[in-house]
Homo-oligomer: A and B are copies of this chain.
Amino acid sequence: MSQSENGRSRREPCEIETSTRTDLRMQLPEIVDDILVTCHDEACFDHIEAESIPSRSAVINILKELRELLFPGYFSEQALDQANLRYEIGRLVDTIHRMLSEQIMASVRHDCRRYDQPCVECMELGLREASRFLKAVPEMRRVLGTDVRAAYQGDPAAVSYDEIVFSYPGIFAITIYRVAHQLYIQEIPVLPRMMMEYAHGVTGIDIHPGARIGESFFIDHGTGVVVGETTVIGRRVRLYQGVTLGALSLPREAVDELRVQKRHPTIEDDVIVYSGATILGGDTIIGARSVIGGNVWITDSVPPDTKVFLESPRLVYK
């Protein structure tokens, strides 16, 4: 270490007069005061005297435990066998119930507060809704099983189901979507969206928890995929990276009415949408078994059994 403590060491500071340092440090109180003033400024956003917020890190922990509950043995440090299976599942259910009921409570209270409503029995509500959620786990596992098989059938590069479960981002995003959508159905505020934004950050796949998506759903690669709030997707649908299922342009005035309408498309069974394709509008229906080519931009319905392509590109020779 001695050599690295010579003039070039990253620990050695340049000279500075103590007085100069003090002068500079003494500016801080004034800076604090300036910021405090703006804290009360209508133009800014703060969360003071406000109700509790669900904790992002708690939500991430819940999702980690849930993945292990939905795919037992894939993500635990400890090997599972018939001897310890019941204890491990029991531990997971208990932990998730405690953590989830707390975050549901926080979300509900935050929302009540926002509408200046009293928070009535929100702790009981938290416990009830957490139990209700856990009762839906077996069905979630079954549906996720169809999604994993769809990935294996859809991707020639897949070598095993195990590889898909523990490394495919599409399965990661769909797993969290199936969880968040269940909480969305239970009308839990805030939490479902936080879960999907976590999945979005990890995978680049942005699915709104409100979207309705059928069995055997496969997203390949996935980066840049966007699935809007009121999208309806049938069974055995396959999407590639960069696909947008979105809303049509909206005049700024109209936004508030739009919040309640169906603004996103309907994709029927067995449709394939290739990378970079964009399908917009609440009345747009892509008929069953149709194939939407890459990078196309669609705002009208497409009948069943149709293929839609871009014009072939222009070639220019140097």
Contacts and interface: CB of A to CB of B under 8 A. Distances in A.
Contacts of A74: 45-47, 53
Contacts of A294: 244, 278, 280, 297
B31 A79 contact: no
B197 A156 contact: no
B313 A313 contact: no
Q: Interface residue tally of chain A, by bracket?
A: 35 or more
* Copy count, this protein chain: 3
Nearest to A102: B13
A76 to B, nearest CB: 9
Instruction: State the majority secondary structure of interface residues on A.
Output: mixed
A207 B229 CA distance: 27
B83 A4 contact: yes
A242 interface: yes
A16 B27 CA distance: 50
A73 B85 contact: no
Contacts of A120: 14
Q: Which of A46, A142, A144, A148 has the most CB of B within 10 A?
A: A46
6 contacts: A15-B121, A35-B137, A39-B72, A47-B72, A295-B295, A310-B314
4 shortest A-B CB distances, which residue pairs?
A10-B52, A47-B73, A3-B83, A38-B138
